[in-house]
Every structure is written in structure tokens, then in C-alpha cells.
Structure 1
């Protein structure tokens, strides 16, 4: 591709997901001149306060939404990216046996075309060359993560079809679709072994046991983006989500020197490509740069 700015759209379920999944990659591309737009499907209104130092948030869903809007603005600034709210309401993570019903009107209960229409419109307006989101499992079984996959997959495939979503702008077909692989077992095992070998306590043991116990299938990563120079921006974005992220918790329990030495990349799975490319890749824009395809 010559003469046109590359564009990347990262579609996430809640504010904070953009900072825990592929964040260093988006920060790296933004710093290198790519136009990066983070899309947040819900306001995160039903998220619990997970940082024990934070206290409580008053005002119900509206109060939590207002806090998380401000957190998201600070995280986007730390990453150097733009951000857009899709406008749906968090579904919450149901717990219990049997599971309770999801709340009326929430994101996960929307008809697919209703939930996808604003994203199709945004794809046609922003015209991304690459879209990233979650695999069909959602990465973990949160109803909003699964719905985020469905909506992003639908928008990727439908936005270029002039006969679909006909009132939502001029067609645009993104060239590549990727799934995030931030919490792969391969990464967790490698980090766990390195941390233990260095004499530190690893935060990954329970996670590995839990994933194995639930028999979560391990998907194959195809694309390994070197982005270690942007781990500090990722960490700053995580800390911006103060209601969700404990600064002494899991995300910061990995000694950074071990992470830099053992795992200096972020991984993705190429789910679809409309341009020729060869895996493994080290660039989400492999097959697009310099081709004139965009």
C-alpha cells in the first residue's frame, strides 16, 4: 500500500479490555503512525470494583459508567489511540447454579443485527485495514466477550456487502481479521516456569490449573508482534482502570525483566485474510504494506 495511512480497529467488550489484550501492540502501531481506533461495546456498568484500595462507587449503573468513561479516556491517552463507545449496556457476569438470567436490554441479549449495525457503520466510516477482536469463546465465557466476537465477526464480513446494512454508509471490506491471544496457556506456562526458576512466586499456577481443569482448548497463534518497548504504556493504561486493576495484583506480579527476556511479543490468530500472507507473521499488516491493496 502506498500513500495511505494504515488503520487498525480493535473491538473490545468493556473498558479495560483494550489495556489487557493487545495493548502494547496498539500502542506500538499508534506510535509508528498507524491510525488506531479502540471500539468499546459496553460501558462496563456492571463491573465489580476489583481494586481493594479503591473503595465503593455510588450511583448504581450510571455512577459506575461515569467512572469508567473517565478511566477509559486516561487509558486511551496512555496508549496513544482513539476510542469509540458502541453504546450498549454491560451484561454482567452471571454466577450461581443454575445461572440467573441476563438483565433485560443488556448487550448479550441484543439481536445480532441490532448489535452489529453501529459497528458496521463505524467500520464503513473509519475504513480499517485490520480488525482485532476475541475468538468465538470470547477468551473466557463472559457473555459480553462472546457477543463481542459475534458482533465484530459479523461487521467484518458484512461491512463490504452493499446489500447488507444498506442504511449504514458506503461499503468497506477490511482486509484482515485477528483474534487476541493474550492469555494463552503457552505464554502462561513459559512465564510461570521462568518466574519460578528465578526464585519468585508465580501468579500463573492457579490460572494454568483452572484452564486445564475446564479443558479450554488452546488455539494456535499465527502472528507474533514484537512490542516490548511499549509494555510501559500498556501498564500505564492498565493502571488507569483503577476500579478494575489492583496495582499490586496479578497484572503487575510478573517481574518486568523476566517478561522482557521471555516473552517480548503479543500474539494473535489470523482468522481471515483478503490479501496473500504467510504465517507465522510478525506484523498485523503483513500482506498489506506496500501492495496498493488498501
Structure 2
């Protein structure tokens, strides 16, 4: 189960991993905390621009459904309103980041107890980047992870359920950029991609190496890309998400990376499987 702030986040942060596991027969549930209502149109060539201007929330729901189909996942809306990202850091009182967290924890506990996942993936305390909804997504995910296992919390939300493993997304990391830069510098020393890759290495040089788990996803990069492109109001075909050719990724770093934060089962590091150590019953 993966908990994300907005529709499109699931496609940029773990989509190939979700497609990998659905191909193995695992049930994967993506939860979108908000509908992305306060987002902007980020693709100037959007074909559905008229609908986006008239009903962006409705369009984003259609986009999410298409992305879901590409990944083969289940999907639930948590039902809260996008907080936006104001320059002064303020959020609307009725938005996801403005509502007291206990009101947001219970519906996620209800989903956890109903779906009964072995693994939960979410963001770290910084949200991946400092959008108020991403930070609140982290806070709500951790609160629900703990509350779902406690029979005294939200007793009307189903039988308690203990999730075996909690992970943070660490897909954007220096090891990945280093591997691609080194592979490309040997294979194509005159490639124009080396300059921006070098700039990314410099920008990320102080990033700590936090990933514990490297899931092999080389076969599912195209599914990830198709899911991303489904969110056409947010993702242009010219987006930096498609900066690195998939053939290069497959050769240099064919993984999506995660950090194991808490585990109720024994496992050995580094991992290549989010379910390592989990007892699977059928």
C-alpha cells in the first residue's frame, strides 16, 4: 500500500515498483490523500485544456483512473482538499494540511484495516519536497500506521491490523545519478546529457545514502512512463521525468529505491524486495 499526496505523485514516486509487484500477483493499493484541486496546468500542450480550465479536479480524476489502469493497481481517494502551495506558507483552513490530523487519520486507518497490507510506503518527514500536503501525507501515514494496530484507537474502523514493514520513498538519490553519469561517460563521452547529469551530481553531492532496498524494475519503466503521461495536465512529454533514456536506466540503475524505517519481521540488508521477511499466506 502506497500513500501519496496528490494524483500524479504515485506515477513519479514508485510507479515501476507497483507495476512490478502487480505483475507478480500482489495486490497493490494506492491512496491519494487529495484530488489535486489547487494544482496548476503544467502542460502547455494539453489536449483537454478546455476541460482543465472548466473542471481541473474532474480532469485529474480521469487522469488518475488512466494511470491506475497502466499500473494495474487498486486506488482509493482519502477525500481531502489540496492545500496548494502559497509563498507565505499559509494553507486554507478546510484543506488537507489545515485540518486537525486526527480527523484525517481515521479514514486512512479504516482503509488499512480493510485492505490489510503487509507493506506501507510513504514520504519522509520533509515530504520529498516541502509541499504542505506532502508533509501532512507523511504525518497522517505514520499516525495511521501506528493507530491501525492499536485496538483502542478508532474501534469502529474495523479489526486492528499490524503492517509488517514501513518504507520511505528514496527514488531520487545520488547513487542513481552517479551510476547513470558513469555509465554514460564511458559509453557516450560526447553525450549532451552528461552536462545536466553532472550538474545534478553536484547539486546532490551532500545527499546522504539512505536507501536500504533496491527493487529491480527495468521491465516496468515504460509502464511508469505511460502512467506519468496519463497525468497530462501535470506532466508534459518534454518533462524532466523523461530526461534519462530508459535504456540507460536499465543498464546503469534499473531500480527504484526505498528506505526501511520500521520492520516487525526479520530481514537482511540490503534488500531487493519490499516483502523480504514477510510471511505470505494464501
Calculate the TM-score normalised by the size of structure 2.
0.91
Aligned length: 275
Aligned mate of 2:180, from 191, 197, 213: 191
- Report the equivalent of 1:264: 254
- Report the equivalent of 1:244: 234
Q: Deviations over 1:211-268 (max 9, x none)?
A: 56xx7x5351001111111111101000100011110221112122111100101110
Looking at structure 1, the residues matched to 198 and 120 of structure 2 have their Cα atoms a distance apart, in angstroms, of 32
Offset of residue 206 of structure 1: 5.2
Aligned mate of 2:110, from 107, 112, 121: 121
Aligned-residue CA RMSD in angstroms? 1.9
Looking at structure 2, the residues matched to 252 and 23 of structure 1 have their Cα atoms a distance apart, in angstroms, of 14
- Report the equivalent of 1:6: none
Unaligned runs of 5+ in 1: 1-8
- Report the equivalent of 1:147: 136
Question: Does 2:243 align with 1:253?
Answer: yes
Residues 74/223 of structure 1: CA separation in 2 closer, same or farther (3 Å cut)? same
Offset of residue 195 of structure 1: 4.3
Looking at structure 2, the residues matched to 176 and 67 of structure 1 have their Cα atoms a distance apart, in angstroms, of 34
Looking at structure 1, the residues matched to 182 and 84 of structure 2 have their Cα atoms a distance apart, in angstroms, of 34
Residues 196/81 of structure 1: CA separation in 2 closer, same or farther (3 Å cut)? same
Looking at structure 1, the residues matched to 178 and 83 of structure 2 have their Cα atoms a distance apart, in angstroms, of 31
Q: Deviations over 1:137-160 (max 9, x none)?
A: 111111111111111111111101
Unaligned runs of 5+ in 2: none
SS at match of 1:35: coil
* 1:143-292 superposed matches below 5 A: 143-195=132-184, 198=188, 199-201=191-193, 203-204=196-197, 207-208=200-201, 210=203, 217-289=207-279
Runs of 4+ in 1 over 2 A off after TM superposition: 188-198, 200-212
Looking at structure 1, the residues matched to 179 and 272 of structure 2 have their Cα atoms a distance apart, in angstroms, of 19
Residues 207/118 of structure 1: CA separation in 2 closer, same or farther (3 Å cut)? farther
SS at match of 1:105: coil
Residues 233/189 of structure 1: CA separation in 2 closer, same or farther (3 Å cut)? same
Residues 246/280 of structure 1: CA separation in 2 closer, same or farther (3 Å cut)? same
Offset of residue 50 of structure 1: 1.2
Offset of residue 94 of structure 1: 2.0
- Report the equivalent of 2:53: 58
Looking at structure 2, the residues matched to 52 and 250 of structure 1 have their Cα atoms a distance apart, in angstroms, of 15
Offset of residue 289 of structure 1: 3.8
Question: Does 2:9 align with 1:14?
Answer: no
